[in-house]
């Protein structure tokens, strides 16, 4: 039996955008609407089991309604770019799920939905319409159910004819009459002045239809009667415009609407691009379950011949791989080290600090030699270990950073990297999510090597293959590295990034490995004690909550909390879910002005999260043998060039809350009596903006040492320095940093809790004052259109394939990326340059001080007291001179007994 689902794409996307907090990828693409839409699609497919499915979109152009009424939908605010940029990804998502989509010029999505719903009804097919627009309630019938989305995108209220009659007091078809009388501000339907929903319902219940109401208008006394008589034509027009056209020219038949199989490869690629890790895992697309179906979307197993081949089935053309055992074989293999063109250290595991070294392979141009780890650590392999550790003997490899860290924990060293294919590939295309050798072999059309999961399996299926299979795999990787090096080197030269690669990224990779293996000491007892403080503070707030509530209850229970807030205390219901009241953070923040208990609950959640996520989480990460935390800095993740901290992420310890900042007290020097020193770039991205834009007002503020946010407030509001209040400075700060990220009036309005109109005026005034910034934005976008990419001051390149796209949403996102990449990327280049130069200078002058952490724009060191003055001077000098700008770079240096005291 057929079952049809019709989704109002624009309406649901809009609901998802406002229902889900703003999310974005590391590259800055907003994704909250796509995320909400994906969850909605999954829920519908899993729970409804439709046979046919369509997502209808508005064509985005004038429709037949505009011809009849020119002011139709006039006055609507432009779609926020944070939403509009997501529509291409929503369409791609729909296709990947095997769902049909469509739009029709001259018509709206409502008309497509109405036409298909009526066709289905005529053929006895049940239809579910999903929308956030009440206009579609006019389609409800015995065969058509309309599900209206609420604030929670996956939660809906369903309307059948009985529900319509119960709520409105008339049949579904009269929804059109209701719109005719009361109008619709969102569509700019005039209706009858003074007639709201309550009055319109009363009239329709009494007279039956709009036409009957107007016929009896002369009998209706007072202003209401006058308005009905005077605006009868407007009411009729409003009804016509609100009437869904259920006879639009759509292709016949059902085949084009049939729900297809999801395209697993396309779906996995898209979800990885959008960084939806939880959805990848939920759908079995993260590799943990290679044969999993899309979470119940389809239950049939894939044919065996569709599965990816195992490593043993990969061709081995041109690669002679040897795994020496006998003494003479070992001697021959070691004699070929000096002729090695490339080397690969095979490491498994996500975190290289805990990774397992499986072996080492090198390629001499003719033969690959593989030594498994258990042989590597034996005495007869000492020449190999010495070669790996010798910085004077150059090595070309893949992911040298990972190799250095993993070998360190096994008592071995890896030095002398002269080329890293992993870093080179990242620089050449930083927007690619993966740079494995398997990816590079495909990208450059070279003999392929398999993906790691094809060799080892994934998750519970992980298994180290036999020695010969492993040798062939790692040996082929070593041979591939040698073939890739000249190709990548030529591309780096063609793109002007040789210096960036050899002088910055490659040496930084080794410095990061040193910094990570040194680690940062964490006082476990102090951290645990602070955890107890947080527990006690949470318990105190908990008692205050109970006092305000007049009873005890489980604060962590959404159901019980909802009953207290909405049933007992009578707070307004903001959002409901399938299981009851919503009490998420957005809801509570909206309710905060209504009752003091809400602020207490938010504070309680903050305290308990700090204790569970950060205190307990960090305690688990302290390595017993060192008493330190050893994070891992990913150098090839962020498209802007920023470093990403993992295992654990030390860049996300919350510091806006004082309770979060206090966690830093547990980060202490590893030597008795030493100090922690922190050096933080002051407003580095705004200083870069001043340089690249050449704006004289911005440059003047930084050159005179004036507070930039105060200066901006003075210029935008036209007031003297002494008249800049805290609100003005806060607004100026929001727009200063927002400009870097291409903020829209919508984004600024959200940040400052003001109207979009006020935000738009603020941005207009900013550009009127800082005309150089406006000119820069226009100039860099024009350059990107011409060249197809933008660069940082040090030549870091980011390609923008959508900069000339005909699709407005794709193009506008690319334009904002063009504006902010040179700023964010240059800031990343500056701090990386400082890191490399600092470590070299510290070694050159024989300092014992150590660099421990890089957190956003801050570097953290441990310093012996007798080196404090020297380090203060050295750090300030190197960081402030890292890259010359038209405005001074400023570094704030502080120190103390722990990281908290140093700030």
pLDDT of residue 230: 84
Burial of 846 (0-12, 13-18, 19+ CB in 10 A): exposed
Residue 152 is predicted with a pLDDT of 59
Q: How confident is the model at residue 291 (pLDDT cuts 50, 70, 90)?
A: very low
* C-alpha distances out from residue 104 to 58, 111, 510, Å: 7, 9, 57
Nearest in space to 397 (alpha carbons), one of 411, 382, 373, 414 = 414
Point out the least confidently predicted range of 64-68, 558-562, 899-903: 64-68
Query: From CA 337, how far away is CA 371, in angstroms rounded?
Result: 12
At residue 205 the predicted structure's pLDDT band, cuts being 50, 70 and 90, is confident
Summarize the confidence of residues 459-468 as an average pLDDT.
Answer: 91
Stronger pLDDT, 66 or 630, i.e. the higher one: 630
What local confidence, expressed as pLDDT, does residue 65 receive? 81
* Confidence check: pLDDT of 127 > 60: yes
For residue 553, the model assigns a pLDDT of 94
Q: What does the pLDDT read at residue 76?
A: 67
Record: fold of 319-486: Nucleotidyltransferase; domain 5 (3.30.420)
Whether pLDDT at 300 is above 70: no
Residue 322 is predicted with a pLDDT of 95
Check residue 298 and give its pLDDT: 35
Architecture of the domain defined by 685-822: Orthogonal Bundle (1.10)
Between 588 and 312, the higher pLDDT residue? 588
Pairing of strands 576-577, 580-581: antiparallel
Instruction: Write down the pLDDT at residue 601.
Output: 95
How many residues are listed for the chain in this entry?
903
Q: Reduced to 3 states, what is the DSSP secondary structure of residue 670?
A: coil
| Preceding peptide of 220 cis, ω within 30° | no
**634: phi then psi, degrees, rounded to nearest 5:** -80, 120
pLDDT of residue 287: 58
pLDDT tens-digit profile of 234-259? Answer: 888 888 888 999 988 888 888 889 99
The answer to whether residue 301 scores a pLDDT higher than 70 is no
* Residue-wise pLDDT tens digits, 397-431: 999 999 999 999 999 999 999 999 999 999 999 98
- Return the higher-pLDDT residue of 128 and 69: 128
DSSP state letter for 623:
B
Task: Locate 259 and state its tokens.
Answer: 């729900």
Which own/partner pairs from 431-437 qualify as long-range (CB within 8 Å, at least 24 positions apart)? 431/27, 431/639, 431/798, 431/799, 433/272, 433/273, 435/636, 437/398, 437/477, 437/480, 437/481, 437/484
- Looking at residue 234, what is its pLDDT? 85
CA–CA distance, 103 with 248 (Å, rounded to integer): 11
* CA–CA gap between residue 628 and residue 201 (Å, rounded): 69
How far is the C-alpha of 818 from the C-alpha of 822, rounded, in Å?
Answer: 7
* pLDDT given at position 305: 31
pLDDT cut 90: percent of the chain above it = 58
pLDDT at 179 exceeding the cut of 90: no
DSSP line for 460-514: GG-----HHHHHHHHHHHHHHHHHHHHHHHHHHHHTT-HHIIIIIIHHHHHHHHH
Residue 69 predicted with pLDDT over 90:
no
Query: Taking 90 as the threshold, does the pLDDT of residue 83 lie above it?
Result: no
**Domain segments of the chain as ranges:** 3-257, 264-296, 319-486, 522-629+638-668, 685-822
Q: Is the pLDDT of residue 498 over 50?
A: yes
161-165, 555-559, 860-864 — which one is most confidently predicted on average? 860-864
When computed from its CA atoms, the radius of gyration of the chain, rounded to whole angstroms, is 32
b/e sequence 279-313, b meaning 16+ C-beta within 10 Å:
bbebbbbbbeebebbbeebbeeeeeeeeeeeebee
Question: pLDDT for 565-593, tens place per residue?
Answer: 999 998 888 877 767 788 888 788 888 88
From 280-289, 476-485, 626-635, 868-877, the region with the lowest mean pLDDT: 280-289
How would you class 322 by CB atoms within 10 Å of its CB: exposed for 0-12, middle for 13-18, buried for 19 or more? middle
Q: Would you place residue 673 in the very low, low, confident or very high pLDDT band (cuts 50, 70, 90)?
A: very high
Query: What phi and psi values does residue 632 have, to the nearest 5 degrees?
Result: -130, 125
Tens digit of each residue's pLDDT (9 = 90 or more) over 618-633:
999 999 999 999 999 9
If you average pLDDT over every residue of the chain, what do you get?
A: 89
Beta-carbon contacts of residue 642 (< 8 Å; ≥ 6 apart): 824, 828
Fold of 522-629+638-668: Taq DNA Polymerase; Chain T, domain 4 (1.20.1060)
Considering the chain, what percentage of its residues have pLDDT values greater than 70?
95
What 3 state SS string does 98-148 have? CCEEECCCECCHHHHHHHHHHHHHHCCCEEEEEECCHHHHHHCCCCEEEEE
**Six token digits for residue 191:** 């209706």
Distance separating alpha carbons of residues 840 and 281, to the nearest angstrom: 43
What is the reported pLDDT for 801? 87
**Residue among 505, 515, 351, 627 at smallest CA distance from 859:** 515
Higher confidence at residue 880 or residue 443? Answer: 880
pLDDT of 663? 95
**Rounded Cα distance, 581 and 572, in Å:** 11
Residue of 66, 10, 64 whose CA lies nearest to 245:
64
Closest Cα to residue 276, out of 258, 295, 298, 291?
Answer: 295
pLDDT digits (tens, 9 = 90+) for 691-715: 999 999 899 989 988 888 998 888 8
pLDDT for residue 75: 64
What's the pLDDT score for residue 804? Answer: 87
| DSSP helix/strand/coil, 543 | helix
Query: What pLDDT score does 61 carry?
Result: 67
Question: What's the CATH architecture for 3-257?
Answer: 3-Layer(aba) Sandwich (3.40)
- Non-local (6+) Cβ contacts of 137 within 8 A are 146, 148, 159, 164, 172, 175
**Nearest-CA neighbor of 636 among 348, 353, 423?**
423
């Amino acid at each position: 039996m057929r079952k049809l689902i019709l989704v109002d794409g624009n309406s649901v996307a809009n609901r998802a955008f406002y229902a889900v907090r703003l999310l974005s990828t590391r590259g800055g693409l907003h994704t909250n609407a796509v995320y909400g839409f994906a969850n909605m699609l999954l829920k519908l497919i899993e729970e409804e089991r439709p046979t046919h499915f369509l997502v209808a979109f508005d064509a985005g152009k004038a429709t037949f309604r505009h011809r009849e009424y020119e002011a139709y939908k006039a006055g609507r605010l432009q779609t926020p770019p944070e939403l509009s940029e997501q529509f291409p990804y929503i369409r791609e998502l729909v296709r990947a799920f095997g769902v049909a989509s469509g739009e029709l010029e001259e018509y709206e999505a409502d008309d497509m939905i109405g036409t298909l719903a009526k066709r289905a009804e005529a053929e006895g097919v049940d239809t579910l319409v999903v929308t956030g627009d009440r206009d579609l309630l006019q389609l409800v019938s015995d065969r058509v159910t309309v599900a209206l989305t609420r604030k929670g995108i996956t939660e809906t209220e369903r309307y059948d004819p009985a529900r319509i009659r119960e709520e409105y007091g008339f049949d579904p078809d009269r929804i059109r009459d209701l719109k005719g009388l009361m109008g619709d501000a969102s569509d700019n339907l005039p209706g009858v002045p003074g007639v709201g929903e309550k009055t319109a319902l009363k009239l329709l219940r009494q007279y039956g239809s709009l036409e009957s109401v107007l016929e009896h208008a002369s009998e209706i006394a007072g202003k209401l009667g006058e308005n009905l008589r005077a605006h009868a034509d407007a009411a009729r027009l409003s009804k016509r415009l609100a009437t869904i056209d259920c006879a639009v020219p759509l292709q016949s038949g059902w085949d084009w609407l049939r729900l297809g199989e999801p395209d697993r490869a396309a779906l996995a690629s898209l979800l990885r691009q959008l960084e939806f890790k939880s959805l990848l895992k939920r759908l079995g697309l993260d590799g943990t379950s290679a044969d999993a179906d899309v979470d119940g979307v389809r239950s049939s197993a894939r044919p065996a011949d569709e599965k990816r081949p195992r490593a043993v089935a990969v061709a081995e053309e041109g690669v002679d791989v040897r795994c020496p055992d006998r003494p003479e074989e070992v001697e021959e293999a070691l004699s070929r080290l000096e002729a090695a063109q490339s080397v690969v250290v095979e490491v498994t595991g996500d975190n290289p600090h805990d990774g397992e070294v499986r072996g080492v392979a090198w390629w001499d141009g003719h033969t690959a030699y593989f030594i498994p780890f258990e042989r590597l650590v034996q005495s007869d392999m000492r020449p190999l270990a010495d070669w790996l550790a010798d910085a004077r003997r150059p090595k070309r490899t893949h992911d040298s950073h990972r190799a250095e860290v993993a070998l360190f924990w096994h008592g071995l060293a890896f030095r002398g990297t002269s080329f890293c294919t992993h870093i080179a590939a990242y620089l050449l295309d930083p927007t690619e999510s993966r740079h494995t050798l398997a990816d590079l072999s495909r990208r450059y059309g070279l003999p392929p090597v398999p993906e790691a999961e094809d060799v080892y399996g994934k998750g519970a299926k992980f298994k180290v293959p036999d020695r010969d299979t492993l040798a062939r795999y790692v040996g082929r990787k070593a041979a591939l590295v040698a073939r890739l090096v000249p190709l990548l080197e030529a591309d780096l030269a063609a793109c002007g990034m040789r210096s960036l690669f050899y002088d910055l990224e490659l040496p930084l990779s080794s410095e990061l490995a040193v910094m990570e293996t040194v680690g940062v000491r964490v006082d476990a007892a102090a951290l645990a004690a602070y955890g107890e403080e947080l527990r006690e503070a949470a318990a105190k707030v908990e008692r205050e909550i109970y006092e305000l509530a007049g009873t005890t209850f489980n604060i962590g229970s959404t159901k019980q909390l909802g009953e207290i807030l909405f049933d007992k205390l009578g707070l307004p219901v903001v959002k409901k879910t399938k299981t009851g009241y919503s009490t998420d953070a957005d809801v509570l923040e909206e309710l905060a002005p209504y009752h003091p208990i809400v602020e207490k609950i938010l504070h309680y959640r903050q305290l308990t999260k700090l204790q569970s996520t950060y205190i307990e989480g960090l305690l688990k990460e302290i390595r017993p043998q060192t008493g330190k935390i050893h994070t891992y800095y990913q150098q090839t993740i962020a498209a802007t060039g920023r470093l990403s901290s993992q295992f654990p992420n030390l860049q996300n310890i919350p510091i806006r809350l004082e309770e979060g900042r206090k966690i830093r007290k547990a980060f202490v020097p590893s030597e008795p009596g030493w100090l922690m020193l922190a050096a933080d770039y002051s407003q580095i991205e705004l200083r870069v903006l001043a340089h690249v834009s050449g704006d004289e007002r911005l440059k003047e503020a930084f050159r005179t040492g004036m507070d930039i946010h105060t200066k901006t407030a003075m210029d935008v509001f036209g007031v003297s320095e002494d008249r800049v209040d805290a609100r003005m400075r806060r607004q100026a700060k929001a727009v200063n940093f927002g400009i870097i990220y291409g903020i829209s009036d919508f984004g600024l309005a959200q940040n400052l809790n003001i109207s979009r109109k006020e935000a738009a005026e603020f941005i207009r005034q900013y550009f009127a004052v800082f005309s150089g910034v406006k000119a820069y934005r226009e100039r860099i976008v024009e350059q990107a259109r011409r060249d197809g990419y933008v660069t940082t001051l040090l030549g870091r390149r980011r390609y923008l394939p959508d900069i000339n796209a005909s699709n407005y949403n794709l193009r506008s996102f690319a334009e904002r990326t063009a504006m902010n990449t040179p700023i964010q990327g240059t800031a990343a280049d500056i701090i990386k340059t400082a890191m490399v130069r600092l470590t070299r200078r510290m070694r050159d002058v024989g300092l014992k001080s150590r660099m421990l952490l890089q957190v956003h724009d801050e570097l953290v060191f441990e310093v012996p007291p007798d080196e404090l003055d020297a380090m203060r001077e050295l750090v300030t000098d190197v960081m402030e001179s890292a890259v010359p700008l038209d405005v001074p770079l400023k570094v704030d240096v502080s120190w103390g007994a722990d990281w908290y005291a140093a700030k």
